Amino acid sequence: MKVKALVSFSGQVTMSKGEIKVVKKEIADDLLQAGHVEEVVSKKQVKSDAG
């Protein structure tokens, strides 16, 4: 799961505030519950045909 650190922390995963990293879902779930990270949702670019 791709997450962004809201605060700096260390442990099984070490991240600085603002850093984006891909971590295992189990670890991400714990960090989300603790409020240390937020999930990064990437938006797919959609090309529109103007014709």
pLDDT at 44: 67
- What's the number of domains the chain is made of? 1
Q: Which residues pair with 37 in a beta bridge?
A: 5
pLDDT at 42: 78
Residue 14: domain span = 2-39
- Is 50 a member of any domain? no
Strand runs labelled E in 1-51: 2-5, 20-22, 37-39
pLDDT at 12: 93
Q: pTM for the full model?
A: 0.78
pLDDT at 6: 98
Q: Do residues 2 and 14 make contact, with C-beta atoms less than 8 angstroms apart?
A: no
Total residues found in the chain within this entry = 51
pLDDT at 48: 61
- Is 46 a member of any domain? no
Q: Which residues of the chain have pLDDT under 50?
A: none
